[in-house]
Amino acid sequence: MTGERPRSTGLFVTFEGGDGVGKTTQASLLQSWLTDAGRTVVRTREPGGSEVGLLIRDIVLHHRGEVSPRAEALLYAADRAHHIETVVRPALARGDVVIQDRYLDSSVAYQGAGRVLGRDEVRDLSLWAAEGLLPDVTVLLDLDPAAARARLDADDKPFDRLEAEKESFHARVRAEFLALAAAEPDRFLVLDAALPSSELAAAVRDRVAALLS
């Protein structure tokens, strides 16, 4: 099992961070920049980047009753297995740039630390599901959970199952993301999500441009 691919294939960029930190905005800005530069971009997300994944997304985010922590971890892993095999790997093989909202680091942070299932077990499960595929770069948008919650409140949308978790859950998630980034400094670009959107976008572009050149 290995995450390595020949460098001539596409580029795999993931965005990570807590809920409400601005991942979708930054992913869109990067997509526009790359598209304007003539690159073919596949914009996707987990959970829910495939038809099967949309069904799984509905369960993990909107099921009203209990979902046991291990079942939740397996559902995210099932979404990942199908999505990587049917969407992401084919795109990378074509030479496209894949820009993805959330990937295996979210499982380690939310299920491993948030649900307290354990970092190594959850990471190994995801690596098995994705046959070892790791991103070329992971942008971590870091924000204090209270500030992120204020942004979600301002959105005025109902919270999903994970967003509705307590502050202590989101504090564990944030700490785990930062620990993951510290453990793999070459893969992660950690940015302070409180900075203006244009500054964040420029930092992301710089890193991606360096990888493409």
Contacts to ligand TMP by CB under 6 A: 19, 45-47, 61, 76, 101-102, 106-107, 110-111, 162-163
44 φ, ψ (degrees, to nearest 5): -145, 180
> In whole angstroms, how close is the CB of 109 to ligand TMP at the nearest point?
8
CB of 42 to ligand TMP, least distance (A): 17
Which of 96, 120, 98, 104 is CA-nearest to residue 47? 104
As given in the structure block, the two tokens for residue 89 are: 């790997």
Cβ of residue 49: shortest distance to ligand TMP, in angstroms? Answer: 10
- Closer residue to ligand TMP in complex, CB, 11/141: 141
| Shortest separation between residue 36's beta carbon and ligand TMP, angstroms | 25
Q: Which is nearer to ligand TMP, 10 or 48 (CB)?
A: 48
Structure token digits, residue 134: 């790791």
> For ligand TMP, which is the closer residue by CB, 39 or 161?
161
Contact at 8 Å (CB) between 102 and 157? Answer: no
Other beta carbons less than 10 A from residue 44's beta carbon:
21
Structure token pair of residue 28: 């869109």
In terms of CB distance, is 101 or 176 closer to ligand TMP? 101
Number of Cβ within a 10 Å radius of residue 133: 22
**Toward ligand TMP, which CB reaches closer, 12 or 76?**
76
Q: Least distance to ligand TMP from the beta carbon of 176, Å?
A: 11
Peptide bond into 47 cis (omega under 30): yes
